[in-house]
Chain A
Amino acid sequence: MTTATERKGLQATKQMRGVMGKYFAELAAGPEQGKKTAWCTSVGPAELLRSMGFNVYFPENHGAMLGATRMATDLIPEANARGFSPDICSYLTSDIGSYLKGETPLQKMGMEGPPKADVLIFNTNQCRDVKDWFQFYAREWDVPCLGVHTPRSIGDVDGPIVDDLALQTEALVEPLEELGGCKFDIDKLREVIILSRECTDLWKAILDTAASVPAPITFFDDTIQMGPAVVLRGTQDAVDYYKILLAELEQRAADGIGAIEDEKFRIYWEGMPVWGKLRDLSTQFMELKTAVVASTYCNSWIYEDLDPAEPFKGMARAYCRLFICRSEDRKEKYMEEMAAKYKVDGILYHDAKTCPNNSNNRYQMPQRLEAKLGLPHLVINGDLNDMRLYSEEQTRTNIEAFVEQLAER
């Protein structure tokens, strides 16, 4: 029988709450201060929007909040009933359900709800759903929905693709100026890109600390700590916060302090978090003395291509080098490198029913990697937000049995 172990919280987290609180307060105050709000996909051209003076809001972050608070379960059916299938992105259905029902966790933070968009900017590098999602609001509010159409299943991040994406991004400048953003200033964009790059480098260094044995931080903490990397990249606040967090983690690593007491096994998490079950899963892994040391998901906010010398091309490269829009062979190579770097004992794949884009067990990758690396794998069936698609008992037993198997090796 397993015994409960104490969870080792990070001291920096309190300050992160302050940073995130300030971000939401600024969003809420935007209209009063005469600032325009741009909605942006999480891996969209946020740097450009920020440089042009927009307040930038990321609805996927709201989607994750709806999942983590488990409000999603009551909200998704609202969207389903209006024609958004239960089989499509449950961030989309949760978020639209939240809008339709007028219920959001932001109300607890003193906001009425998400800030109304003056413009919606997507990048299809992650999926088509983001565009469909944004177009719903564009119809509701009669505001423009613009974006970058990135191809999928990219092999080499080569010249023609980068040129095209850079041009598409540059083409957003004119309409954004017309919509009341500031006049475009390339030097301002360079400044934002420098900050964004700094944020990304710090975030990478933070995730890299988990390569130490024992790992000072796990995937479950990462999913919380990544907030600033998603919504505040390109700002000084994100950089300042991550410096504090990195120092704490480097100290932990130097002192040999693991996030999991008596770490026995190390696992890689492929796929989306199960937002509604983060706590339960984190507790189960802690009891099994197993550290989930790395994930594709949290590593998706690392953009080493961002380059102030080539602002548009750098953004283009960064936002198409992403794991999610790469071809299967490139994904496989990436996973191989990650497994070695983080010294993992096995790989867990989360097959999220409503996000095929982030479910990488579906084209035989687990079998290929297991044969190549000799690392066992486990697939759990679930979802990011829709807990109707999650079986508690099945998942619990699968994870427990997987760790038993690791122990037998």
Chain B
Amino acid sequence: MQYFCGIDIGASTAKLVIVDENGDVAARSMQRSGVDYTGVARENLDEALAAADLAEDDVSYSVSTGYGRDNVPWSDESMTEIACHGKGAWFNFRRQITVIDIGAQDSKVIHLDDKGRRTSFKMNRKCAAGTGSFLEEIALRLALPASELNGLAEQSTKDVTLGSFCTVFTATEILAKIRAGEKVEDIAKGAFRSIVKRVSEMDTIDGELVMTGGVVAHNPLLVSLVGEFYGRTALVPPDPQYTGAFGAALFAMEKGAKTC
């Protein structure tokens, strides 16, 4: 059996997936990215190899992706997270899709045709609006851990709109809402709605809608709000925070199979 590895070093977490020659996941690992990308990549690899009871030599080919993609000395090749998220998402659905990936520092909209070829993509502009960092900033303003935002927002009963493009201005808007006596859960839901707005402004959607990324994995409310906005179900692949790493592993499988 041959194995292939994909590693996605994002702004917040580093994810690694090993697949076998059928594309089935053999092992996974996730760590905080921290400041030493090379070190964390090695820890990730060792952890996944141990979990699957494999040796490094069992891995025929590796592809790295994400912000830290060029800091993985043992990978054979690097590709962008746009390519890898598209690949990983399409593998699960195999029809024309538009992927909305929401990560810690950026969001992307990726269009793939029915053969899985990318036809276009957009990344958010420079700002944190519409990304995981935005939610973290909002959680900070509301004096809550970011992990509690989803549960809280689900209890919301009233629409509160946060309208600014700018994360810092949104934080100021929140102060005004607090002063006006708005409930925390309604403000929290307003923050999720703001992400939907910012992302929907980036591009249009063709085919079915798929969502990936760590923010999606931890905030199911966001998925239903996006679906509500577009009037269609937003599909989510299994373990959406690993989609980029999985896509990288699939690329490794294609490329490694060719070279072996």
Q: A residues within 8 Å of B by Cβ? A: 1-2, 370, 376-377, 379, 381, 389, 391, 393-394, 397-398, 400-401, 404-405, 408-409
Contact = CB atoms under 8 A, between A and B. Distances in A.
B123 A408 contact: no
B67 interface: yes
B119 interface: yes
B78 interface: yes
Nearest to B64: A1
Nearest to B120: A376
B83 interface: yes
Contacts of A379: 122
A102 to B, nearest CB: 32
Given A1-B75, A381-B126, A394-B126, A408 B117 contact: yes
- By DSSP majority rule, is chain A's interface helix, strand, loop, or mixed? helix
Interface centre among A370, A405, A409, by most chain B C-beta atoms within 10 angstroms, is A405
Nearest to B11: A393
Given A400-B80, A404-B80, A394 B123 contact: yes
A391 B126 contact: yes
A349 to B, nearest CB: 12
A373 to B, nearest CB: 14
A377 B119 CA distance: 10
Contacts of A408: 117-118
Contact of B121 (A381, A393, A401): A401
Contacts of B125: 381, 394
15 contacts: A1-B75, A1-B78, A370-B120, A381-B125, A381-B126, A391-B126, A394-B123, A394-B125, A397-B123, A401-B80, A401-B121, A404-B80, A404-B118, A405-B121, A409-B117
Interface of B: 67, 70, 75, 77-83, 106, 117-123, 125-126
A376 B121 CA distance: 10
B129 to A, nearest CB: 14
A393 B79 CA distance: 14
Contact of A401 (B67, B70, B83): B83
B81 A397 contact: yes
Contacts of B75: 1
Nearest to A391: B126
Given A394-B106, A394-B126, A404 B83 contact: yes
Q: What are the 5 closest A-B residue pairs judged by CB atoms, nearest first?
A: A401-B82, A401-B80, A391-B126, A404-B83, A400-B80
B126 A376 contact: no
A103 B187 CA distance: 49
A393 B67 contact: yes
A119 to B, nearest CB: 41
A119 B83 CA distance: 55
Given A397-B123, A401-B121, A405-B118, A1 B70 contact: yes
A400 B82 CA distance: 9
Given A1-B70, A381-B126, A391-B126, A397 B117 contact: no
A5 to B, nearest CB: 16
Nearest to A409: B117
Nearest to A397: B80
Contacts of A370: 120
A394 to B, nearest CB: 6
A158 B93 CA distance: 56
Given A1-B75, A381-B125, A394-B126, A404 B67 contact: no
Contacts of B121: 401, 405
Given A2-B78, A394-B123, A405-B119, 5 more contacts: A377-B120, A394-B125, A397-B123, A401-B80, A405-B83
Contacts of A2: 78
